[in-house]
């Protein structure tokens, strides 16, 4: 497994409606980001600063990432330690992302409606 600088093209490996070149380019302009690969792309993620300067942890995670969870967890934990700042993240309610964010030191903040039609409702988490 290896990590590399994020490229917006990497998002095309995901089926999420947000995984577009335009969205990837917008994320890249907003802060540091990386891609983690094994045989294929496992995770793209980074920190995007909003217009107020608040950092938002973002990621796209492939189903194949489950078999590499511990190593990916260490990569992400190190990334947020190196780029230390208060962060916000969202994840679908009651999904595996809730537990992962808690393992990364995030705390539940509030519920939030899904981002687009058909998107599950989210929980907002804060760290720092």
C-alpha–C-alpha distance, residues 88 and 34, integer Å: 18
Tens-of-pLDDT digits for all 128 residues of the chain?
A: 999 999 999 999 999 888 999 999 999 999 999 999 998 999 999 999 999 999 999 999 999 999 999 999 999 999 999 998 999 999 999 888 999 999 999 999 999 998 888 888 999 999 98
101 in the same domain as 115: yes
Which has the closest alpha carbon to 55: 6, 126, 122, 5? 126
What pLDDT, on a 0 to 100 scale, did the predictor assign at position 93?
92
48 in the same domain as 1: yes
95 in the same domain as 71: no
Please give the tally of structural domains in the chain: 2
Helix, strand, or coil (residue 124): strand
What pLDDT, on a 0 to 100 scale, did the predictor assign at position 119?
81
106 in the same domain as 78: no
C-alpha dist (Å) from residue 7 to 1, 27, 41, 48, 85 = 17, 10, 12, 14, 23
126 in the same domain as 91: yes
What pLDDT, on a 0 to 100 scale, did the predictor assign at position 115?
80
∠ CA 37-39-40, rounded to 5°: 60
What pLDDT, on a 0 to 100 scale, did the predictor assign at position 117?
82
27 in the same domain as 8: yes
């Amino acid at each position: 497994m290896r990590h590399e600088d994020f490229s917006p093209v990497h998002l095309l490996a995901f089926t999420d409606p947000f995984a577009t070149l335009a969205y990837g380019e917008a994320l890249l302009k907003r802060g540091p980001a990386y891609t983690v690969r094994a045989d294929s792309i496992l995770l793209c993620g980074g920190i995007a600063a909003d217009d107020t300067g608040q950092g938002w942890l973002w990621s796209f995670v492939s189903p194949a990432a489950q078999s590499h969870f511990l190593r990916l967890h260490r990569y992400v934990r190190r990334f947020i330690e190196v780029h230390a700042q208060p962060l916000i993240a969202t994840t679908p309610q009651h999904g595996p992302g809730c537990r992962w964010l808690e393992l990364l030191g995030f705390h539940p903040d509030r519920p939030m409606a899904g981002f687009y039609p058909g998107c599950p409702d989210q929980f907002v988490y804060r760290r720092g």
